[in-house]
């Protein structure tokens, strides 16, 4: 099944106390931005349910169209639940777009494993973008900082800040790299069932592990934002 980038996976509304105080360090800023990007526990669960439904249905029936219908129906149920509770539907809508793309790939070829091909392509491209930006010393996390300070490239003047952003960017890339390394051989072998299992296992659990590593790196609050530094 297709995947959506972390930065677009729903919006998590932080408590007023968390949003009222502007971050003064790089570490605090990245923690704040990542908390908005993931969609919380509910968002991570919603990303896994349609894929789990597809996988279970395919393993038990080997009916591609039925598996896609089950996956899509689960996404619709999740969307209705969001509407009923009057919460943001952005995360579920993103998931439904991914399901539609996956269905197009699978139905066009008639191969269930091709439902996971868009996700593989996305992970490979996203990993290349993140790793490439860090290698060129223009890490994407740095632009996250620049979008808040209002000076998109000011952070590059600080060697330590650039180094921190590079390490954080590589940590963001790690789950994508691991997914491609593990899932591509399964796709090439036509193992749709195992691909579904791998996607669920290597979805939010792997992302949480990467974020935990980032949280550890960010826990020291040692790098002041450019705007917070004394003149």
Do 106 and 116 have their domain in common? Answer: no
* pLDDT surpasses 60 at 20: no
Count of structural domains within the chain: 2
Identify whether residues 136 and 208 lie together within a single domain.
yes
Sorted by sequence, the CB contacts under 8 Å of residue 67 that are 6+ apart come out as 53, 54, 55, 57, 58, 61, 112, 115
66 assigned to some structural domain? yes
Could you read off the pLDDT of 148-175 as tens digits, one per residue?
Answer: 667 788 888 888 888 888 998 999 899 9
**Cα-Cα-Cα-Cα dihedral of 79, 85, 90, 93, to 10°?**
10
* Residue 224 DSSP code: B
Does residue 7 form part of some domain?
A: no
Domain extent, residue 101, equals: 39-110
Examine the domain organization and report whether 48 and 71 are in the same domain.
yes
Is 98 domain-assigned? Answer: yes
Asked if 3 and 53 count as a contact pair (C-beta separation under 8 A), the reply is: no
- Regarding whether 221 and 138 lie in a shared domain, the answer is yes
Name the pTM for this structure.
0.73
Q: Assess if residue 31 is contained within a domain.
A: no
Nearest-5° Cα angle at 213, 185 to 146: 100
Whether 219 is in a domain gets the answer yes
Establish how many alpha carbons lie within 13 A of residue 100's alpha carbon, considering only the half-sphere containing its beta carbon: 7
Same domain as 115, residue 228: yes
Does 228 lie in the same domain as 133?
A: yes
Residues 74 and 118 placed together within one structural domain of the fold = no
pLDDT in tens, 95-141: 899 899 999 999 999 999 999 999 999 999 999 999 999 999 999 98
Looking at the fold, whether 169 and 92 belong to one and the same domain comes out as no
Final residue before a domain boundary, out of 67, 86, 110 = 110
Q: Alpha-carbon distance 55 to 66, whole Å?
A: 11
Say yes or no: 179 and 128 in one domain.
yes
* The domain boundary residue, chosen from 82, 110, 138: 110
Q: How confident is the model at residue 227 (pLDDT cuts 50, 70, 90)?
A: low
Out of 110, 125, 150, pick the residue that ends a domain: 110
Contacts of 41 (CB under 8 A, 6+ apart): none
Specify if 179 maps to a domain: yes
Look at residue 76 in the predicted model and tell me its pLDDT.
Answer: 94
């Amino acid at each position: 099944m297709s995947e959506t980038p972390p930065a677009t996976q729903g919006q998590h509304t932080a408590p007023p106390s968390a949003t009222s105080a502007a971050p003064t360090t790089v570490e605090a800023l990245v923690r704040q931005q990542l908390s908005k990007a993931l969609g919380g526990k509910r968002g991570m669960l919603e990303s896994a349910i349609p894929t789990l439904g597809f996988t279970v249905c395919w393993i038990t029936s080997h009916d591609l169209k039925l598996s896609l219908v089950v996956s899509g129906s689960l996404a619709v149920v999740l969307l209705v639940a969001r509407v009923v509770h009057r919460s943001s539907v952005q995360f579920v809508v993103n998931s439904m777009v991914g399901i539609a793309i996956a269905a197009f790939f699978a139905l066009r070829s008639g191969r269930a494993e091709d439902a996971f091909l868009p996700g593989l392509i996305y992970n490979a491209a996203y990993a290349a973008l993140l790793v490439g930006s860090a290698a060129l010393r223009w890490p994407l996390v740095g632009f996250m900082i620049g979008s808040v300070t209002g000076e998109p490239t000011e952070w590059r003047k600080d060697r330590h800040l650039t180094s921190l952003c590079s390490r954080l960017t590589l940590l963001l890339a790690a789950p994508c790299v691991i997914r491609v390394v593990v899932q591509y051989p399964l796709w090439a072998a036509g193992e749709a069932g195992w691909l579904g299992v791998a996607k669920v296992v290597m979805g939010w659990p792997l992302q949480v592990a990467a974020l935990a590593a980032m949280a550890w790196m960010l826990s020291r609050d040692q790098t002041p934002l450019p705007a917070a530094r004394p003149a």
